[in-house]
């Protein structure tokens, strides 16, 4: 690189580094995001687009799903109008920068609560139970995770470290492939690149139910029951508190009716009871 090229390249580097510094500096926000959202009149939400039945695009290209409807319910609570939501579709690793940069107010994207994630984003209480199941090609003959734990099989993971850890723990001999959307994972199984895919239980069940002769789900869960929750940026107590209150009321209080409707619509059954002592 001659001297004449050095200046523009250095300039470009300097621009990038200054962007980094500017982004890293704490921007003191006096007012809570709740106020910003109320003033804006619209809720901006990060979500996926290929994780049915939580968030996916239907045949008409509309973003639909359980998570989508929950976000609309939140908008209804804020503005009395469920249509006042703007969805920002992200990929698996893109959901965190979307939150941290402040581009979105919150994320609801079939995201499971893990303590190491909670270091960087805040979670509300869970809005739905989840777990991790393994979707396999029908006719593979694997009835359990032990059957899948062989060198000749490949499993498609999402690019988060929890998936890699789980695969190492339960099926260490199986080879792994890493993709950035659930759709790519399922496509890998469909095309024979992998024989199995690690997905959230409701997502795996949905794919198996809508493609009965292609997929099936291994009945054994990879681990235990887990919690999916709304995630938002750390440090904003008022916003977190409102969201957490809203989710709490959805599951156990005043919004249980609306919540049950959405739950019935997407899972075909009633949600867990409001309180253990209520039949």
Residues that bind another protein (CB under 8 A): 1, 5, 9, 12-13, 16-17, 19-20, 23-24, 92-93, 96-97, 100-101, 117, 119-121, 159-161, 177-180, 184, 187-188, 190-193
Shortest distance, position 106 Cβ to another protein, whole Å: 16
Give the shortest CB-141-to-another protein separation in angstroms. 20
- Would you say 25 or 270 has its CB closer to another protein? 25
Minimum CB distance to another protein smaller for 177 or for 221: 177
Q: How far is the CB of 37 from another protein (least distance, A)?
A: 23
Cβ proximity to another protein, 38 vs 113, nearer residue: 113
Which C-beta is closer to another protein: that of 15 or that of 146?
15
Neighbours of 75 (CB within 10 A): 21
Question: How far apart are CB 161 and another protein at their closest, in Å?
Answer: 5
């Amino acid at each position: 690189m001659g001297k004449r090229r050095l200046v523009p390249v250095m300039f470009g580097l300097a621009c990038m580094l200054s962007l980094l510094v500017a982004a890293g500096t704490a921007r003191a926000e006096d007012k809570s995001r709740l106020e910003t959202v109320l003033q804006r009149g619209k809720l901006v939400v990060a979500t996926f687009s290929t994780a049915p039945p939580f968030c996916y695009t239907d045949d008409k290209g509309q973003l639909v799903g359980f998570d989508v409807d929950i976000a609309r319910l939140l908008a209804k609570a804020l503005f009395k109008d469920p249509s006042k939501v703007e969805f920002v579709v992200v990929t698996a690793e893109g959901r965190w920068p979307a939150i941290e940069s402040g581009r979105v107010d919150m994320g609801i994207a079939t995201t499971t609560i893990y303590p190491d994630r909670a270091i960087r984003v805040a979670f509300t209480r869970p809005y739905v139970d989840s777990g991790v199941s393994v979707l396999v090609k029908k006719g593979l003959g694997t009835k359990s995770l032990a059957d899948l734990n062989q060198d000749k099989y490949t499993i498609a993971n999402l690019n988060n470290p929890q998936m890699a850890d789980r695969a190492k723990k339960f099926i260490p001999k199986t080879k792994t492939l890493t993709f950035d959307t659930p759709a790519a994972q399922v496509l890998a199984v469909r095309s024979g690149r992998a024989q199995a895919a690690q997905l959230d239980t409701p997502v795996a069940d949905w794919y198996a139910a809508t493609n009965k002769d292609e997929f099936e789900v291994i009945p054994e869960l990879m681990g235990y029951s887990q919690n999916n929750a709304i995630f938002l940026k750390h440090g904003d107590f008022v916003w977190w508190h409102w969201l957490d209150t809203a989710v709490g009321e959805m599951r156990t209080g005043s919004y249980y009716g609306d919540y049950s409707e959405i739950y019935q619509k997407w899972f075909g059954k009633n949600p867990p009871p409001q309180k253990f002592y209520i039949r």
